[in-house]
Structure 1
Amino acid sequence: MADHNTNPSNPYFLHSNESPAVVLVTPLLNGKNYHAWARAFKMAIESKNKIKFIDGSLTKPSPDDPLHIPWVRCNNMMLSWIQHSIEGSIVKSILWIDNASQVWKNLKDRYSKGIFDVPSPLSQSLHLINKPAIFLVSKKLCNRNSLLSLSATHGP
């Protein structure tokens, strides 16, 4: 039972340096960046071995269970981390939900249905394009096309 106090692999373990005021990811969830935000947040809490608190696989133990208090403590930490990682207007809408997995589901239901904020392969590649070279090629093509149309109109 005391394993959760010393074993970092235990999902109930909280390191002494953990703080409920920490912002785990930026930018904050603003309603338009859900997919990127959710991925970053999941990565952050997976590194802390707390994913079970948002995926619903670690349910709240009964009050007489010795793990009830550690579950409540970790769930509250998760709630705080979520609240500190989203914009204030969204925080107000989830403030009174007491279960981290229910908050996670609420946010997913509300914000995951929009246009994905995941970059397309094209937009990911755009930053690799040499824009000055494209300009020069375009200019040469325009000049070539102008010469071709002049020769077609006025003869050789």
Structure 2
Amino acid sequence: MASASDSTSTDQNIIVNKHDPSSVHYIHPSDASSTQLVSFKFDGNGFNNWKRSMLLVLSAKNKIGFVDETIEIPDKTSPEYKFWARCNDLVISWLIFNLDVTIAKSVLFLQTAREIWYDLEERYGYASMTEVYSLEQKLSEIVQGSQNISEFFTAIKTVWDGISDVNPLPVCTCKKCTCNLTHRIQDRQQDQKILQFMMKLNDNFAAVRANVLMMQPLPNVSAAYKLFAQEERHKEIS
């Protein structure tokens, strides 16, 4: 049976942790509740982008455990509970403030940050074929035009990332695979992206495109981009 001195010691440790920047219960003075943590409030569109941005910020603030259930809810009789509740309320306020008013109202009375996060994932965290279709159509229509290599690569990579986000490649989950299928699928996707990138470039890069196609194996996407960017700079100097 724990003595009174043991209980006092535990209380003091929790208070110390509350002021320890590495503790999940630590709240920095700048962590105001009415803070827009990401560049846009979620309004029902682009959930996966918003989710990714929010997770990065919550991780940086050491509060991601309040939405992914890695932090257990203490017993209400525990001295730790009031510190958990304070942080939970803070994360709830962050989530609500970074949602559109209508969506914020729909989760306002949920009790934990995890409940809000789960509710949003259930409603919006699915692969919409409409969104996939829209991105694939955008990819089929995008061309370099008047953009320089950097601008065009950024534009097409944004579309690739969007497609990967809403319709990710399948991966082996059995952990018994010996054929390295996941890696082979990723390599095939890289080759496909390089071909898409080169097909949509202007004709004045035909010579570099021919050289890249002669490479076996093809370079990765970043290496291919560097080759075309160097050719562009060479043409500018000339």
TM-score class, shorter-chain normalisation, is 0.7 to 0.9
Describe the superposition over 1:64-97 as per-residue Cα deviations: whole angstroms up to 9, x where unpaired. 1111000000000000000000100001110000
Change (3 A) 1:90 1:132: closer
Task: Find 1:43's aligned residue among 28, 37, 56.
Answer: 56
TM (norm. structure 2) is 0.50
Q: Separation in 2 of the partners of 1:63 and 1:132?
A: 59
Q: Name which of 46, 67, 72 aligns with 1:59.
A: 72
1:4 to 13, 17, 39: 17
Matched, 1:82 2:95: yes
Q: Distance in 2 between matches of 1:32 and 1:21?
A: 22
Instruction: Work out the number of aligned pairs and report it.
Output: 132
Structure 1 counterpart of 2:90, which letter? Answer: M
**Aligned sequence identity (%):** 24
**Equivalent in the alignment of 1:131:** 146
Contact residue 18 and residue 83 of structure 2 kept, 8 A: no
Q: What is the CA distance between 1:132 and its match in structure 2?
A: 7.5
TM-score (normalizing by structure 1):
0.75
For residues 87 and 131 of structure 1, the distance between their equivalents in structure 2, rounded to whole angstroms, comes to 36
Instruction: Give the secondary-structure state (helix, strand or coil) at the position aligned to 2:54.
Output: helix
* Larger helix percent: 2
Secondary structure of the structure 1 residue equivalent to 2:109: coil
Q: Cα offset for 1:60?
A: 1.6
Note the C-alpha offset of 1:14: 0.4
Of 3-12 and 49-58, deviating more is 3-12
Contact 1:26 1:85 in 2 (8 A): no
Partner in structure 1 of residue 114 of structure 2: 101
Deviation of the 1:59 alpha carbon: 2.2
Q: In terms of Rg, which structure is larger?
A: 1
Indicate whether 1:23 and 2:36 are aligned: yes
Q: 8 Å contact 2:48–2:125 — kept in the other structure?
A: yes
4+ aligned runs moved over 6 Å, structure 1? none
User: Cα RMSD (Å) of the superposition?
Assistant: 2.6
Q: Name structure 1 gaps, 5 residues minimum.
A: 138-156
Q: Which has the higher contact order (CA 8 A, sep 6+)?
A: 1
